[in-house]
Every structure is written in C-alpha cells, then in structure tokens.
Copies of this chain bind each other. A is one copy, B any other.
C-alpha cells in the first residue's frame, strides 16, 4: 500500500531542475524550415476564403487562356516526406502533383475535390464545422467510399497550403484536459482547476479557443484515461502544479494542436507518460514530430520539446515491477521496435536508442497500470515525483 505521509514536493527545486534540464523558451524562436520544403500556414477563416477565391480565379483564367484547366498540389507520397533534422519535424517537400480537368483518369478525382471545396466554402462562410463522415454524406453517390472523400479533404488542405483545421473539417472530440489552466472557449471562460472529478473535453474547434493563463510548471501528456483519472482524483496537478492532458491513445489532430499551443504560448516543458511498449513509444513520437500521413501539418501539430518521462524499459527494474506484471513481446512488437531503431530521430537520441535496445534485448513490455502492483497510488506518490525531481527522462 502506498505511504500516506510523505514530505512536500519542493516546487522551487523542481522548477530549477526543469529549467536546467530543458531549454525553456526553445519554442519561442521562429522556426526556419529547410529550403526544399513547402510552407503551410494556419489561416483565419477570412484568409482561407481568400485563398479559395484566388484559386478559383486562377482556374477560370486558365480556362479562358488555354481551355485546359488543371489543379496543382504538393505530393503527399512517401518520397516527398522530408525529415527536418534541425527542427526534428516531418515536412512535405516540393514535389507537385497535377490533376487535369480534361483527363479521363482524373475527372472523378477533380469532381470530388470540387465538391469538398464547395463544402469547405459553405462551412467557412457560415462559421460552421463538419466531420469527415458528414462531408462523405453530402454526396454519397459521388464519393462512393469515405476513403475517397477523406483523400479529397487532405488534397484540399495541401492545395490551399493550409492546415485541415483551417478548412473547418474536424475530428470528433477525443481527449481531455484538467489542471492549472484557464481558457476562453467562444464567450465562456473555462477554469480547468474547477472540473471536479471530471475533465474538460478538448474541443476540436480550436479556432474558438484562447489560452488565458496558467500557473503550471509543466504539462503531462498521458496515454491512458485510467492513469489520468487516478492523477486527477488525487489532484496531482495541484500538488505538482501542472496541466494534464490525454487523448486516449494516439493524439488526434485537436489534442496535438492544443498541446502544441499550450507548450508554445505558456512556454512550458512537456512530458509524456505512456505504456512501456513500442506503441507507447510511437505515441510519444507522434507528439514529438508528427505522423507521416499528416506531415504537411507537422509544424502545427508537433511539440518538438516533449520529453519521454516514461514508462521506460529501464524503469521496470529500477521500480521493481514484478515479473508477472511484465508482458512478453510478440513478433509484431519486436518488428516495431526494430523499425523505430531505424528512425533518424531515434538514432539522434542516444538515451532513447539505448532504452529501445534494452527492450529488444529483454523482449518485455509493461503497462502504466503495472505500478499498481506496488499499491494504487505508487504512480502518483512515488514514480512520477521521482522521475520529475531527478530529471530522469529521454
């Protein structure tokens, strides 16, 4: 059972330690991207509408001039995804795809693209939002399969050199936040310290959100709801002034964008708490430098200063996780670890590489909940404070 009496956490010391371990303020500087990558912008409603108008004007002009209109957009294929070592981000290169209106091969594609563009225009004009599924249902016969409308939705974002969020096509909410933070959401001020045993569900309409203030010292991203619940129940964020956020698995666009904004606007260090398995490490990597599929949005989604607090493979011995709470890896896990070890951004981080190599050697994994074998509150009372105060992260 977890000890009930323990000395108070030394806030000053931790703050100093955090400052020392993290280059606080590193996000403040304007990012400079490599020459061979394209520039994507997060746009206001007004500016997105302007871009659509410009695009249509240009199209009409081409019809007048040549009678052979076409649309050009950056390629999202693997060969056009570039790892920006300087900023540790996945970005889109300058390869261009041309879709011709008059070619039989691309006419279906173009018609779908125009339908989505019409939807986006309507959403922006009425300051409304829609999900991908709803976009599919605006023209089922045309799209046939949601895969097709989803592809057109991503085409529209890249074609406009903007984020999907700027097109007002959003995901259903899947993520929660609680702790030392006040935000404005539309006309409401929401105090994330006053959510009782529940949370504020992260809105996917991020245009409407302003971050007002926070006296947190750090942000903790948690893979699992259950761990978040436990830390919130014991008001971990009050004792260790922080903001807790979870996306219930891989961070969706809204959570990643919100986290990025929190980290940047509040200028706070960010830590992740994930399962000690390849999937957990992958979740961390998506927060860190974006996913391949959405690489054109990386600068708005990635939080390059996020640190992997745990659970590390080496923690299993250090915190005496019993043998029976460790799970043997399957062949899929082993393949994933090997894939991760081949990634440049892992090779660059020697501590991370070492921990993945240890996982590969021991062939074991463990969940955050494995700490329960030492008592329900070992995580909150022992593991996290120790990790945070000793600077033991990757």
Spell out A's residues near B (CB within 8 Å).
Answer: 1, 122-123, 126, 128-131, 133-141, 170, 172-174, 176, 183-190, 194-205, 208-209, 224-226, 229-230, 233, 322, 324-325, 367, 369-373, 376-377
Considering the chains assembled together, what is the distance between the CA atoms of A173 and B204 in angstroms?
18
A224 contacts which chain B residues (CB < 8 A)? 172
Q: Tell me the nearest residue of chain B to A327, going by C-beta.
A: B140
Pairwise interchain contact B376-A122, C-beta atoms closer than 8 A = yes
- CB of A205 within 8 A of CB of B197, answer yes
A326 to chain B, nearest CB (A): 9
> What are 7 A-B pairs with beta-carbon distances under 8 A?
A128-B377, A140-B322, A141-B322, A197-B204, A197-B205, A199-B200, A199-B201
Bound-state Cα–Cα, A128 to B377, Å: 9
Given the contacts A123-B376, A128-B233, A134 and B196 also touching, CB distance less than 8 Å? no
List 8 tightest A-B contacts by C-beta distance, closest first.
Answer: A185-B196, A137-B372, A172-B225, A198-B203, A197-B203, A141-B324, A140-B324, A188-B196
> In whole Å, how far is A170's beta carbon from the nearest beta carbon of chain B?
8
Copies of this protein in the complex = 2
Closest to A137 in B: B372
Q: Could you say which of B138, B183, B197, B372 contacts A138, with CB atoms under 8 Å apart?
A: B372
Inter-chain contact A376/B197, CB cutoff 8 Å: no
Q: Are B188 and A194 in contact (CB under 8 A)?
A: yes
Contacts of A377 in B (CB 8 A): 128
Which residues of the other chain, B, contact A208 by a CB distance below 8 angstroms?
196-197
CB distance from A223 to the nearest CB of B (A): 12
Which residues of the partner chain B approach A138 to less than 8 Å between Cβ atoms?
Answer: 372-373, 376
- Of B190, B196, B226, which is within 8 A of A133 by CB? B226
A127 (CB) vs chain B CBs: closest residue: B233
Q: Is the Cβ of B196 less than 8 Å from the Cβ of A203?
A: yes
Contact A173 B129 (CB under 8 A): no
Q: Is the CB of A173 within 8 A of B198?
A: yes
Cβ-defined contact, B173 with A225, below 8 A: yes
Whether the pair B197, A200 counts as a contact (CB closer than 8 A) is no
Given contacts A135-B372, A137-B369, 19 further A-B contacts (CB under 8 A): A1-B122, A123-B376, A128-B233, A130-B230, A130-B376, A134-B369, A134-B376, A137-B367, A137-B370, A137-B371, A138-B373, A170-B229, A176-B201, A188-B196, A190-B196, A195-B200, A197-B204, A198-B201, A204-B229
With A369-B137, A373-B138 known to touch, is A195 a contact of B204 (CB < 8 Å)? no
Query: What B residues does A185 contact at CB under 8 A?
Result: 195-198
In the complex, the answer to whether A129 meets B233 with C-beta atoms within 8 Å is: yes
* Chain B residue at minimum C-beta to C-beta distance from A130: B376
Instruction: Label chain A's interface by main secondary structure.
Output: mixed
- Chain B residue nearest in CB terms to A184: B196
Residues of B within 8 A of A371 (CB): 137
* Closest residue of B by beta carbon distance from A132: B226
Q: Which chain B residue lies CB-closest to A1?
A: B122
Contact present for B369 and A133 (CB under 8 Å) = yes
Bound-state Cα–Cα, A369 to B136, Å? 9
Q: Which of B140, B188, B190, B194 contacts A373 (CB 8 A)?
A: B140
A376: chain B residues at CB < 8 Å are 122-123, 126, 128, 130, 134, 138
State A184–B186 Cα separation when bound (angstroms): 24
In the complex, what distance in Å separates the CA atom of A28 from the CA atom of B225?
Answer: 35
A307 CB → nearest B CB, Å = 25
Specify the chain B residue showing the minimal Cβ separation from A172. B225
Q: For the complex, what is the distance from the CA of A372 to the CA of B370, rounded to whole Å?
A: 45
Residue in B140, B184, B188 whose CB lies within 8 Å of A325: B140
- CB pair A173–B196 under 8 Å, yes or no, is no
CB distance from A247 to the nearest CB of B (A): 13
Bound Cα distance from A326 to B195, whole angstroms = 41
Q: Which chain B residue has the least Cβ–Cβ distance from A191?
A: B188
